[in-house]
Amino acid sequence: MKLKHIVISGNIGVGKTTLAEKLAKKYNWKILLEEVDNNPYLDDFYKSMKNWSFHLQIFFLNSRFKQIQNISKTNSTIIQDRSIYEDYEVFTKNLFDSGILLKREFENYKRLYNTILEYVKVPDLLIYIRNKNINNIVNNIKKRNRKFEKNINTEYLKNLNNYYENWIKHYANKNLLIIDVTNKDFIKNSKDLKNIYNIIETKINELT
């Protein structure tokens, strides 16, 4: 069996996009990145989460679903930057529990999300990139120097890490692969990168 839909998941600044690009190049996969550069809400969201959280989450939900639809129409192997599950299980839940997203907005989002899930297949492989060191994540965010990310709060990132761990703990699927990069630097260290390749190849062989 050929793996068609691979997802790479993890917190902001954990290295998802960089690793996805390296994997796509190495294995000749096509890549679908998260809509960041052309996102009309991200800048406003980080300036005022309360005013723009619902708009942003709806935008990402729609964008992610559209990507999944496109994946279903191709025979190529696609690696997708972040899963549709994270939109709800991590980001939207965190915004609601933090009091940023109103209950009526959360319930509205949840209904739409559950409706969409009826048309979504579980990815063939979900790779979760874990980094328990928030300082590493903060440094990664600083290095890429995106203007709108300068307002990201460290506590917000810590909360997201906690929601990720809770989501992954309940992700009952054999297609899950967890890669811990807390003490690794696959960007600067070729041995760390090679080790990640080996881990992924072993999992793919197991699944196929």
Query: Could you tell me the sign of the dihedral formed by the alpha carbons of 24, 116, 44, 98, in that order?
Result: negative
CA–CA distance, 132 with 197 (Å, rounded to integer): 21
Q: What is the pLDDT of residue 188?
A: 87
Q: Between these two residues, 88 and 36, which has the higher pLDDT value?
A: 88
- Region 176-198 average pLDDT: 93
- Region 65-70 average pLDDT: 95
Given CATH 3.40.50.300, say whether it is the number of domain 5-207. Answer: yes
Q: What is the pLDDT of residue 153?
A: 84
1 pLDDT band, cuts 50/70/90, is low
CA–CA distance, 157 with 137 (Å, rounded to integer): 8
H/E stretch holding 138 reads helix 134-144
With a cut of 80, say whether residue 111 has pLDDT above it. Answer: yes
Q: Tell me which residue has tokens 């550069």.
A: 37
pTM over 0.95: no
For 35, what's the count of Cα atoms within 13 Å in the CB-facing half-sphere?
A: 18
Residue 185: active-site member? no
Tell me how far CA of residue 135 lies from CA of 18, 127, 132, 144, in angstroms: 18, 22, 9, 15
β-bridge mates for residue 42, sequence order: none
Sheet order of strands, 176-180 included: 30-32, 78-81, 5-9, 125-130, 176-180
Query: Could you tell me the sign of the dihedral formed by the alpha carbons of 27, 29, 33, 37, in that order?
Result: positive
Could you tell me the two tokens for 76?
A: 């190529």
With a cut of 90, say whether residue 208 has pLDDT above it. Answer: no
Sequence-separated (6 or more) residues with CB below 8 Å from residue 184: 192, 195, 196
Say what percent of the chain tops pLDDT 90: 79
CA triplet 197, 161, 5: central angle to 5 degrees?
A: 40
H/E stretch holding 163 reads helix 154-169
- Region 138-146 average pLDDT: 84
Average pLDDT, the chain: 93
Catalytic residue among 37, 43, 44, 81, which? 81
The closest alpha carbon to 14, from 168, 165, 176, 185, belongs to 185
Domain ranges for the chain, please list them.
5-207
